[in-house]
Amino acid sequence: MRRLLRAAVRGAAAGSALAAAHALVNARLMRVPAADPAECREPVSVLVPARDEAHRIAPTVASLLAQRGVADLEIIVLDDGSTDGTAGEVRRVAGDDPRVRVVEGKQPRDGVPGKPHACAQLADLAGGRVLVFVDADVVLAPHAIAAAVEVLRDNDLDLVSPFPRQLADGTGARLVQPLLQWSWLVFLPLRLAERSPRPSLAAANGQFLVVDAAAYDRSGGFRGIATAVLDDIALLRAVKRSGGRGVVVDGSTVADCRMYEDWAEVRDGYEKSLWSATGSPAGAVALSLVLAWLYVLPPVAALAGSRAGALGYAAGVLTRVVTARHTGGRVWPDAFAHPVSVGVLVSLVGRSWRARRAGRLHWKGRSLGESS
């Protein structure tokens, strides 16, 4: 038993070290939007789905109005059944700016996630050659859209997902939110994912999503993935299936997002989506075991005096350091808590599958139902 345990610790340390090396390579290869992009001369539609976002949509709209380097820009905000005056807040901030349009959305059918339904309606209204989907809690830098379109066009891509810098306050958010960027920087070979049509090689973030309008239409768009909980990844996979190319890029210099305000929002947000991210109960178990083996076992062994465990723990911390430094995150002391972060994530995976089986998945007052 001791030999098996030592072998497991050494294997985990080696695997963690390889993952750290891969993260370092990815960090060098990751595409980053330019700080001074060329002027975008094609029409761009910025599309914002919003449901009960009156408390935080004003900075988003203001940042969209402040975009520079995009000569032909339209901004469409879809009020998705809000009850808090979201539409009025948008109109207040926009004033009489002719670029902004506020429309009332149609309700989705029972059990269908609201966001892809709202995004599909927005895309139908858009006239741009480039569609830019922006969440109502995202604040863009003035050059963000021009820079993102430049990445799209200069690299002959059909979809680009500039991953915003994640603003996380409170212990729960600081433990869990950095794992979003960490997951793809450590495990996804970015340049291969850019070229490959394989669904497994896809990562995207719907907070800020830039897609060629023609490629969007060929893929079937959000209407073709109406029941997807992880609609951003589903859209990228649809674009790949239709012959397109796309990839996640570093958006930390062009966009900020405070996704969740407190632990309850973190918990509920991951509960509604992690079951979909892991694919199946067996997949959830396998992923949880691998993560625990790589990033929890080594530090536990290190506490018992294992040198291999200490090296494995250090490699895990390194992956968090690399991720934070290349995606605008907080480095210290958060990186030291990586084993705790992984443990919390594993617990959230289990919680999500329990909620799925109990039929109690919901988000923003809507049941996701069995169809999702």
pLDDT tens digits, 166-209:
998 889 999 999 999 999 999 999 999 999 998 889 999 999 99
| 3-class secondary structure, 210 | strand
Q: How high is the pLDDT of residue 144?
A: 98
Determine how many CB atoms are found less than 10 A away from the CB of residue 368.
Answer: 24
Give CA–CA dist 68/215, Å, rounded. 25
Give CA–CA dist 40/30, Å, rounded. 22
User: Using the 8-state DSSP alphabet, how is residue 65 labeled?
Assistant: H
Give the DSSP letter string of 296-356: THHHHHHHTT-HHHHHHHHHHHHHHHHHHHHHT---TTGGGGHHHHHHHHHHHHHHHHHHH
95, amino acid identity: G
Q: How high is the pLDDT of residue 358?
A: 84
- Secondary structure in 3-state letters for 120-185: HHHHHHCCCCEEEEECCCEEECCCHHHHHHHHHHHCCCCEEEEEEEECCCCHHHHHHCHHHHHHHH
Give CA–CA dist 110/112, Å, rounded. 6
Q: Which residue carries 């490959």 as its tokens?
A: 196
Per the CB < 8 A criterion, the answer to whether 129 and 43 are in contact is yes
Q: How high is the pLDDT of residue 60?
A: 98
Residues of the chain with pLDDT under 50: 370-372
Nearest to 53 by CA among 27, 89, 24: 89
Q: How high is the pLDDT of residue 370?
A: 45
Secondary structure percentages of the chain, helix, strand, coil, to 5: 55, 15, 30
Give CA–CA dist 207/181, Å, rounded. 13
Question: Going by C-beta distance under 8 Å and a sequence separation of 6 or more, which residues neighbour residue 96?
Answer: none
Q: Which residue carries 């603003």 as its tokens?
A: 167
Could you list the beta-strand ranges (E) of 20-125. 44-50, 73-79, 100-104
Task: Report the side by side order of strands in the sheet with 73-79.
Answer: 100-104, 73-79, 44-50, 130-134, 208-212, 159-166, 246-257, 138-140
Q: How high is the pLDDT of residue 260?
A: 87
Tokens of 159: 């979809």
Residues 61, 215, 202, 20, CA torsion sign: negative
Per the CB < 8 A criterion, the answer to whether 119 and 125 are in contact is no
Tokens of 49: 């789905």
Q: How high is the pLDDT of residue 371?
A: 40
| 3-class secondary structure, 71 | coil
Q: How high is the pLDDT of residue 365?
A: 66
Q: How high is the pLDDT of residue 147?
A: 98
Q: Work out the angle between the directed axes of helices 338-358 and 307-327 (0-180°, nearest 10).
A: 80
**pTM for the full predicted model:** 0.93
Q: Given the DSSP bridges, would you call strands 130-134 and 100-104 parallel, antiparallel or unpaired?
A: unpaired
Q: How high is the pLDDT of residue 108?
A: 87
| 3-class secondary structure, 89 | helix
Q: How high is the pLDDT of residue 110?
A: 75
